[in-house]
Amino acid sequence: MVFVQIAVWSALLSLWCSSHALKTLDDQDAADADAVARCYSGPEQSVWELVMGKQIDIGAASSTLELAKKAGVGPGMNGVELNCNNGGGMRTLVRLAGVDSMIGVDLTKSVVETGKKRTEEEGLSDKIKFINKNSLENGLPDASADFVYSKDAWCYMPDKQLIIDQAARIVKPGGKVMFTDWIEGEGLSNPEAQRFLSLMTFPAIPTVKEYAQMLEKAHFEVEVAENSGRFSPAMDSYVHMLKLQAVYDTKKLLGWDDEAYDKLISDFEFMAKLAREGKIIQGMFVGRKKDVHREM
């Protein structure tokens, strides 16, 4: 019965994806690796930390712990985070979920250096290591991790399948991939998608179903593929912070440029509107790597 259900699920995914085109940014050069690195080496990183905290993802520690619980990740496990930014999620998993060790990979040198410093300050350098490389060229051994993790970071990858394939390569058979990401909900028009992708430096935005299909293609059994429900409340909170609570700090980060501040507010209000309308959501995913040889 389980195999029949999986076959039906796969057939439905294939049928749906054949009639739905993944929305991509028209100007792909505006969202290449150098463009992303520039964003996270400048004031944008600081603005996100101002509204989100040092973990820089929707839901931060509470979301990470929810994800770990759904995936069964905890003590005795060793993990890898692909696109780890400053490693806030890794510190959460080690300190609050009891994970034994983590290796984080990120291309942007400045956030890796910040991550190393914060990890050292917390006395966790013996458990958390950083690699300053493209996550697709991480050099980690095959089948070496109990789980692969990411929080709201694969949105920066032009080809999501490639990063999921890396997760599949690194994780042991029976191990887990667990991640969240900013994804398309319902009713997002192409003009809205182009504005959103451009202001966020995202090359493409998949849906829940498209990500689930990618996981299956990489030989993961999909255990969780859902809307986390966290995106809209979070965006409303960020708008409140920027407009009412942290005006001085925000303008300082932007070099007292009123025009840049007004644009920032406009962009966040636009994203909050998309969130309230369910057009952009945070997806939450857990997959178990199949032991292909055993299941054959």
Q: 20-295 belongs to which CATH class?
A: alpha beta
How many helices (H) does the chain have, and how many strands (E)?
13, 9
* Tens of pLDDT, residue by residue, the chain (296 residues): 333 333 433 444 444 344 458 899 988 888 787 778 777 777 888 999 999 988 889 999 999 999 999 999 999 999 999 999 999 999 999 999 999 999 999 999 999 999 999 999 999 999 999 999 999 999 999 999 999 999 999 999 999 999 999 999 999 999 999 999 999 999 999 999 999 999 999 999 999 999 999 999 999 999 999 999 999 999 999 999 999 999 999 999 999 999 999 999 999 999 999 999 999 999 999 999 998 666 54
Task: Return the bridge partners of 101, or none.
Answer: 78
Residues found in the chain: 296
Query: Residue 221's Cα: distance from chain center in Å?
Result: 20
Q: What is the DSSP letter of 97?
A: S
Q: What is the pLDDT of residue 51?
A: 93
Contact 94, 124 (CB under 8 A): yes
Contact 202, 156 (CB under 8 A): yes
- The gap between the terminal CA atoms of the chain, to the nearest Å, is 17
What's the rounded Cα separation, in Å, for the pair 66 and 122? Answer: 23
Q: What is the pLDDT of residue 295?
A: 56
Q: What is the pLDDT of residue 5?
A: 37
Q: What is the pLDDT of residue 3?
A: 33
DSSP assignment of 44-113 equals HHHHHHHHH-TT-STTHHHHHHHHHHHHT--TT-EEEEES-TTSHHHHHHHHHS--SEEEEE-S-HHHHH
0.85 surpassed by pTM: yes
Contact 278, 183 (CB under 8 A): no
Q: What is the pLDDT of residue 35?
A: 79
